[in-house]
Amino acid sequence: VSKAIPISDEQTTAIISQIDRSIASFIESKEFPKQLHNAIAYSVLNGGKRLRPVLAWYASMACGSSGKDALPAGIAVELIHAFSLVHDDLPALDNDELRRGKPTLHIHTNEPMAILAGDAMLSLAYEAIIDTASADLTQKLLAELALGTRSMIIGQVFDTLGGLPDEITPEMQLRLIHKNKTGALLVASCRMGALCGGASKEQLVLITEFAESIGLQFQIVDDLLDIEGCPTLVGKALGKDAQAGKITYPAVLGVERSREIAQELSAVANRALDGLEKLHSGGAESLRDLLTRLEHRKQ
């Protein structure tokens, strides 16, 4: 049984404060009717781990840069993530009333606002990048963000409406759902962070290997938490996946095997970090610490 390690250490907590201040001032700088502004702020700032901008920051560091240069990219992915959660919770999708220990946006406001605030965050994400980076970098970041977003939506379609290829094994079907609905945005976070940090081709390949592993692992742990998590720490209604008959790792492969796969994915991710360490000594340490906390996360 793993100990409850907090998801953020001291360094990460300080970075998250910077991220939150930047998100707040970014949405402050755009014109919105008050109620839309409030709905966006509620969705993107009210709780949450900020994993995606933290990953972008640490991926930049792993490539030998400061991390801070990945802030706009991180904000962009966090906005896409917040949009995906608001829509994921709608009655037409997962029909959830609790997120981050608080009422979901459509409960806090109403369904039209939840749909429209989601739409607004999708669009704002692109502005976050266009506003800041150089032209050459902007083009690369936009391509990563668009691919990550499209993949996330494809994953949500598989998750909610099915349509998976039936000639592949159930385990491959699981991989396909999770890689898309959750992995793709984590891959985008890491790759965008690395690009902001001036990654070489070799570094980008290793960062992608790392991100694909933790992307899959993150959703496996989310599936496990839905079964055996602590409701207060998770901040969501639990047991919903089984109730809705979702195709999850524990549902298809069992809890024990799912835990094993999560561990195996940590080993793969660690090997990618070893490779990054060889290219830039000391740079991947923050990603390594984060990886340990992610495997054992309780929230």
Beta bridge partners of 98: 103
Instruction: Tell me which of 19, 55, 56, 94 binds ligand IPE, using CB under 6 A.
Output: 94
- Number of shown-chain residues binding ligand IPE (CB under 6 A): 16
Q: How many other β-carbons are positioned within 10 Å of the β-carbon of residue 14? A: 11
Structure tokens at 221: 């742990």
Q: Residue type for 183, please?
A: G
Q: Which of 65, 84, 189, 203 binds ligand IPE (CB under 6 A)?
A: 84
Figure out which of the listed residues 15, 23, 120, 152 binds ligand IPE, where binding follows CB under 6 A: 152
Q: Should residue 212 be labelled a site residue for ligand IPE when binding is judged by CB under 6 A?
A: no
Examine residue 94 and tell whether it contacts Mg ion (CB under 5 A): yes
Residue of 40, 44, 35 lying closest to 100 (CA atoms): 44
CA dihedral 91, 294, 216, 182 (to 10 degrees): 30
Q: Does 140 bind ligand IPE (CB under 6 A)?
A: no
Name which of 181 and 191 has its Cβ closer to ligand IPE: 181
* Cα distance between residue 115 and residue 89, in whole Å: 10
- Which tokens in the block code for residue 71? 């802030």
Which residue of 100, 140, 175, 280 would you call a contact of ligand IPE, by CB under 6 A? Answer: 100
Q: Are 108 and 47 contacting, i.e. CB atoms less than 8 angstroms apart?
A: no
Residues 60-79 that bind ligand IPE (CB under 6 A): none
Residue 108 CB, shortest distance to ligand IPE, in Å, is 15
Q: Which entry of ligand IPE, Mg ion, none binds 191, CB below 5 to 8 A by partner kind?
A: none
Residue 156 contacts ligand IPE per CB under 6 A = yes
Give the per-residue contact string, 50-89, with Mg ion (x = CB under 5 A; - = no). --------------------------------------x-
3 state DSSP class of 136: helix
Is residue 51 a contact residue for ligand IPE (CB under 6 A)?
Answer: yes
116 CB-near residues (< 8 Å, 6+ apart): 36, 39
**Distance separating alpha carbons of residues 185 and 179, to the nearest angstrom:** 9
Q: Which of 28-36, 83-91, 113-121, 261-269 is the region at the interface with ligand IPE (rule: CB under 6 A)?
A: 83-91
Angle CA 217–221–225, to nearest 5: 170
Residues that bind ligand IPE (CB under 6 A): 48-49, 51, 84-85, 88, 94, 96, 100, 152, 156, 181-182, 219, 222, 236
